């Protein structure tokens, strides 16, 4: 699985004028299930992100995780993270999981984060979404598991 994680002050997803997910301080997580990914990969990614020490401590060092801060996560499916641009200018997405499997693993990942005690909000799988966020830092981390 692949994710782009951003530390945010706030984030919101809107679909057709309706807010589907909104958080204050925490993590904006764009996630993509890749072909061949498993439930174990979703769980591994959730564990990695939950323990990722990218929040400031009392000494202003990135030494705290979302578990430490009690922040929330806004999880949005993002198949374009699988983009392959090695053959020209039009990206290919053949390395992304098929849509049914991608949605299942996206929801599994979200449920795995919830099981760790993190408040999770979601976008809407397969929808045309408007995503707004205030990146704090900025801190943006790419993860592959």
> Structural domain boundaries of the chain?
2-136
Local confidence band at 12 (pLDDT 50, 70, 90 cut-offs): very high
Task: CATH number for 2-136: choose from 3.10.150.10, 3.30.70.260, 1.10.357.10, 3.50.80.10.
Answer: 3.50.80.10
Q: Which residues are catalytic?
A: 78-80
Per-residue pLDDT tens over the stretch 86-144: 999 999 999 999 999 999 999 999 999 999 999 999 999 999 999 999 999 999 999 99
User: By the 8 A CB rule, do 121 and 73 touch?
Assistant: yes
């Amino acid at each position: 699985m692949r994710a782009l994680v951003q530390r945010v002050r706030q984030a919101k997803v809107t679909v057709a004028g309706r807010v589907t997910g909104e958080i204050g301080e925490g993590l904006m997580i764009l996630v993509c299930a890749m072909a061949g990914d498993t439930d174990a990969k979703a769980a591994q990614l959730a564990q990695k992100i939950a323990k990722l020490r990218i929040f400031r401590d009392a000494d202003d060092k990135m030494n705290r995780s979302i578990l430490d801060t009690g922040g929330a996560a806004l999880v949005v499916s993002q198949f374009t993270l699988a983009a392959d641009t090695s053959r020209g200018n039009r990206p290919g997405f053949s390395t992304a999981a098929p849509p049914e499997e991608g949605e299942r693993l996206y929801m599994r990942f979200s449920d795995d984060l919830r099981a760790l005690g993190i408040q999770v909000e979601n976008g809407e799988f397969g929808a045309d979404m408007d995503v707004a966020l205030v990146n704090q830092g900025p801190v943006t981390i790419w993860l592959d598991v």
